[in-house]
Amino acid sequence: MKHTEFIVSPKKRLRLKERDTAATGKFTSEEAARKKIERDCEELARLQDMLLARESHGLLLIFQAMDGAGKDGTIKHVMSNADPQGCKAYNFKEPSDEEAKHDYLWRFHREMPERGQIGVFNRSYYEEVLITRIHKEKLDAQGLPAKLKGKDLWKRRYEEINSFEQYLVNNGILVLKFFLHLSKEKQRERLLERMELPEKKWKFSMTDIEDRKLWVDYMRMYEDVLNHTSTPYAPWYIVPADHRWFTSLAVADIVVTKLKELKLRYPQTSDEAEKDLTEAKRALESE
C-alpha cells in the first residue's frame, strides 16, 4: 500500500474535498482485506514486544475525526493483539478545572508514552486548535490574558504544536497522526445507527447534532490544521473512513510500516549475562 496517497504534504495545499472518503485502494471488499488486517495486527504485536523490550523508542498514535468516523472501532481493531502492559489509550474530554488552569498542552504532555510504550490519543491537543476555535466559549474558559487572544493565537499554537512534536521525536517518540475522513452523508447514516442500536445508544450526544450543523466550519478548520501541522517528522495521514474495514486496514499498515523503519531488535545479552544463563541452564538440567 502506498502511504504517500494518505500523507498531507507540507509542500502542497490540502483540500479535503479532493480526498475520497470512500476509497479502498486495491481492495474491493472486507473479505478481500481481512487476511491482511489479521497479518498486520499480528505483526504489530511482534513489533510491540521488541519495542517494550528495547525501550529505545515510544509510539504515540493520534486520532482525530468528526463524530461517527470510527475512531473507537479503529483503535480497538488495530490494537486488538497488542500487549496491554505496553499500551495505554486516552479518550480526552472537556478539561477539568485544574487542567484548564494549566497551559493547553499540560494535560496531554503528562500522558505521553514512555520509551517502550504505545500511547493512543482518541482526540488530542489538536482539539485546542479545532473545537476551541469554533466554540469561542471554550477558549474563554481557559482564562488567557486578553492580549494573548489576538489574531496571532492560532498561528502561534500551530508553531507550538510543531515544536512540541519535534521535541517528542527528538526524544525517541514516534508520532503518527490520523485524520479519519468521513463524508457528511455517511456520518448521517452512522448517527442514525447510533440512535437505533441498543449497543450504540450510549454513545449518542446532542452535541453530535449541533456540531454537524457546523460541518462546513469544521472542514475549514481541519484543512487549516492539517496544512499547518503536517511536518516531515510528524506527518498527518488522511485515511478514508466511509468503510470501517478499510480504515482499520490502512491505519494498521501504516503503523506496522513505520515501526519496521525503526529497525527494532531485542536487546543483546552481555558476556557476563551469557555466563549466568549457561550456569542457570546447567543447574536446571541437572535437577
- What is the C-alpha to C-alpha distance for residues 99 and 104, in angstroms, rounded to an integer? 8
Lowest mean pLDDT among 22-26, 148-152, 189-193, 235-239: 148-152
Q: What is the mean pLDDT of residues 169-176?
A: 98
Task: Provide the whole-model pTM.
Answer: 0.93
Q: Which pLDDT score, from 0 to 100, does residue 218 have?
A: 96
Please name the residue that has the C-alpha cell 486548535. 129
61 close to 255: Cβ distance less than 8 angstroms: yes
Q: Which pLDDT score, from 0 to 100, does residue 120 have?
A: 98
- What is the C-alpha to C-alpha distance for residues 182 and 161, in angstroms, rounded to an integer? 25
What are the cell numbers at 149?
Answer: 487572544
Domains: count for the chain: 1
pLDDT of 212-243, one tens digit each?
999 999 999 999 999 999 999 999 999 999 99
Q: Which pLDDT score, from 0 to 100, does residue 77 have?
A: 96
List, in sequence order, every beta strand (DSSP E) within the chain.
58-65, 87-91, 118-122, 173-181, 236-240
- What is the C-alpha to C-alpha distance for residues 8 and 16, in angstroms, rounded to an integer? 10
Q: Which pLDDT score, from 0 to 100, does residue 220 have?
A: 96
Crossing angle of the two packed helices 153-170 and 215-229, in degrees rounded to 10: 50
Count of helix runs (H) and strand runs (E) in the chain: 12, 5
In the predicted structure, residue 202 carries a pLDDT above the cut 90: no
In the predicted structure, residue 70 carries a pLDDT above the cut 80: yes
- 132: domain CATH number? 3.40.50.300
Domain that holds residue 232: 3-285
